Amino acid sequence: MRTGILVAGIAVGMGLHAQPLLRTLHDDWQIHSEADGISIPAVVPGLVHTDLLAAGIIPDPFVGNNIDSVQWVEQRTWTYRCTFSVTEQEMACKAATLGFDGLDTYATIILNGQVIGNADNMFRQWRFAANGHLRAGANLLEVRFTPVAKGAEALRTRYGKVLPHDSDTSGLAPFVRKAAFSFGWDFAPRLATTGIWRPVYLELDQGGPALTASVTTKPMGQHIRVSIKPEWTNMPTSSGRMQLWWNGRLVEKRTVRNTADRTAEWTVDVSANERWWPRGSGPQRLHQLRLVATSSGHEQVVYERTIGLRTITLDQGRDTIGERFQFIINERPIFMRGCNIVPPDVFLPRGGDSAWVALVRHMADAHMNMVRVWSGGVYPPEAFFHACDTAGILVWQDLMFGYMVPAGDSAFLANAHEEVRQQVERIGAHPCLAVFCGNNELDVAWSNWGWQQRYGLHGQDSAAVRNDHLAFFHDSLARWTAPFPYTPSSPLSNWGNAAGLRNGDLHYWGVWHADSSLASYTRNVGRFMSEYGFQSYPDSTTLARYLAPEDLVLGSAALARRQLSYRTDKPLFDRIGEELGERPLTLGAFIQATQAVQAKGYGLAIDAQSMHIGQLTPAAWVPYYGS
């Protein structure tokens, strides 16, 4: 059992005059494919697919059967190019770095004809030293993306064993650090994207002083003592003054003469009433910390941070029923009400931050207090976590491991370690963070889904894959995510047996995958219901955006192709017959019936879970799939 740190927050500034200069490089990009003779303008942040779509080179892949005609895009090498200028004054800076917040996926970075680095993970931030390669005046920056299959195949060959890949016909998804859904899932077609999908910038370090701080807390009866320890880079040597501001109020000021003065600890006592709570349990108090340092040379350096004060524990202790799975916030167990989400757009940059923030607004409107970020997508942007902080939405953050991984490969392990380090540091700074989870369904899948037979993993190969899995998800990730609450997989119990209802969190899919009646939701209430649900069709006006009028007919081939679940429409017709006593003959009637059955199923499940408050202390999530 781990208790999350009491203080959580995000640094929003450093030295006002001494911090590195950041110049975004988002203008005047082009993409090129020598194989196809393509050279067109590119949007950065963006993706090759959306640039080709804007140029009229490919059709909208979601219309008709166009998905087949765009699969060639992932097979090409694509080069992004832009020219940017650097002044003589900027050339005099102490250090220059090119930063990329997201490269999808295998990329070579070339500055003025010289390779300065390579990337192989779309979830990582990449920084490459540009010193010695920059020029005063015009500079040519190139980012060359090679096909994802090429890099993934190299790792698969090196690993020497196949890994389960149910949703990816190529079998390569487990061997590349890329969003799993882009290889196809039951809600998304295969669109293995490429591009500079998050911001790119030039960072120029002037070499001046920079100030950060470590913040710790200690309960003191009815107060929380917040301790702030200044940490310097290029600390000023001359005497000066420092000030501590808390929520816009000057708390303390000091004269500083030496290193000991500049690094001395500051403290603020905050009422326990000022803690951060999830939505519906108390206020979402956020505090503004500001340290201001001025030297005798009148250079001001400022550190600012937004802080939320809360404790969080994932209680997995034993009781008379089995094994608990409940969250205790500020020493109080909280009943969780929420959803699972996938990215709001298959083309990730297209929706932008606003699409992620809109999801949070929908959660708040529905009185939710938790969201699970599913492991087959991507880590959300900062705007999403800021919105969750202010709305009081706790975040169950899956790490992005939707498949079993080649954890026995040392290069893969180092790559994954840096990815997790970056994301834990970033996401863990937010008070909304509740728990990190290693993967989605891999533990129960290995034990129950017949993967060993399906993928020929027997004997030593089976043992090696299983041992790598346990070492990575149960040991390495547990260490890398400390001190935050962590669970190696979701679910911890398998549905379809009594033990699963008594222990840990549960994904109950008996209604969709096993043809159980809706009433089974009332009999299958686990300790924590982290997934359950039933499909419905979208409104016909949505379908009409992507299908020709002649295809908007029940039973059409084009409509059937959009049903990506292996279960097809059979569970929908079966439950409609059971619950509504009808067999729809038109598309409109079918759509309305699927939505009615879905609503009834959710209502039964939510009511059943709510009735168990104080008995099994489960938490219920209503499935929600974005906008």
**Strand 114-120 to 249-256 pairing:** unpaired
CATH number of 313-537: 3.20.20.80
Question: What mean pLDDT comes out for the span 8-27?
Answer: 62
Judged against a pLDDT cut of 80, whether residue 128 lies above it is answered with yes
The predicted model scores a pTM of 0.94
Please indicate whether residue 16 or residue 381 has the higher confidence score (pLDDT).
Answer: 381
pLDDT per position as a tens digit, 572-591: 999 999 999 999 999 999 99
Select the more confidently predicted residue: 351 or 26: 26
Q: Tell me the average pLDDT across 475-489.
A: 98
Q: Say what the pLDDT of residue 272 is.
A: 95
Q: What is the pLDDT of residue 149?
A: 96
Res. 3 pLDDT band, cuts 50 70 90: low
Q: How far is CA 56 from CA 40, 52, 428, 541, in A?
A: 10, 6, 42, 25
For the chain, percent of residues with pLDDT exceeding 90: 89
Are 48 and 36 in contact, with CB atoms under 8 Å apart?
no
Q: What is the mean pLDDT of residues 475-502?
A: 94
- Given a cut of 60, is residue 17 above it in pLDDT? no
Q: List, for residues 245-291, the tens digit of each pLDDT value.
A: 999 999 999 999 999 999 999 999 999 999 999 999 999 999 999 99
Residue 208: pLDDT band with limits 50, 70, 90: confident
Contact 477, 439 (CB under 8 A): no
Looking at residue 622, what is its pLDDT?
41
Please give the Cα distance from 109 to 119 (Å, whole number): 8
Confidence (pLDDT) at 568: 96
Cβ neighbours for 335, distance < 8 A, ≥ 6 positions apart? 613, 617, 619
Q: Tell me the pLDDT band of 153, cut-offs 50, 70 and 90.
A: very high
What is the model's pLDDT at position 621?
Answer: 41
DSSP code string of 451-515? HHHHTT--HHHHHHHHHHHHIIIIIIHHHHTTTS-EESSB-SB-TTSHHHHHBSEEEE-HHHHS-
What confidence score (pLDDT) does residue 1 get? 67
**Domain 21-205: assigned CATH number:** 2.60.120.260
- For residues 369 and 394, the answer to whether their CB atoms sit within 8 Å is yes
CA 40 from chain centre, in angstroms, equals 31
Average pLDDT score over residue span 542-566: 95
More reliable by pLDDT, 478 or 493:
478
Given a contact cutoff of 8 angstroms between Cβ atoms, the answer to whether 593 and 584 are in contact is yes
Return mean pLDDT, the chain.
Answer: 93
Write a three-state SS string for 396-423: EEECCCCCCCCCCCHHHHHHHHHHHHHH
Give residue 37's pLDDT.
Answer: 96
Domain range list for the chain: 3-18+210-309, 21-205, 313-537
3-state secondary structure of 322: coil
Per CATH, the number for 3-18+210-309 is 2.60.40.10
pLDDT value, residue 295: 86
The label of the residue with tokens 């709001």 reads 344
What does DSSP say about strands 394-398 and 370-373: parallel, antiparallel, or unpaired? parallel
- pLDDT of 395 higher than 80: yes
DSSP 321: S
Q: What is the pLDDT of residue 206?
A: 85
What is residue 296's predicted lDDT score, i.e. its pLDDT?
76
Q: What is the pLDDT of residue 617?
A: 43
pLDDT band at 16 (very low <50, low <70, confident <90, very high): very low
Q: How confident is the model at residue 10 (pLDDT cuts 50, 70, 90)?
A: very low
Q: Would the pLDDT of 6 be above 90?
A: no
Distance, in Å, from the CA atom of 571 to the CA atom of 551, rounded to the nearest integer, reads 22
What is the rounded average pLDDT of the residues 104-108?
A: 98
**Sorting pLDDT into bands at 50, 70 and 90, what band is 167?**
very high
Q: What is the pLDDT of residue 7?
A: 54
Q: What angle do CA 187, 395, 175 make, to 5 degrees?
A: 50
Q: Residue 503: name the closest of 325, 242, 244 by CA.
A: 325
Which of 5-19, 181-195, 372-386, 513-527 is predicted least confidently? 5-19
Decide if pLDDT at 9 tops 60.
no
Which whole-number Å values give the CA distances from 54 to 11, 51, 350, in the listed order? 37, 5, 12
Q: Over the stretch 30-47, which tens digit does the pLDDT of each residue have? A: 999 999 999 999 999 999
Beta bridge partners of 398: 437
Mean pLDDT of 117-121: 98
3-state secondary structure (DSSP) of residue 581: coil
- 620 pLDDT band, cuts 50/70/90, is very low
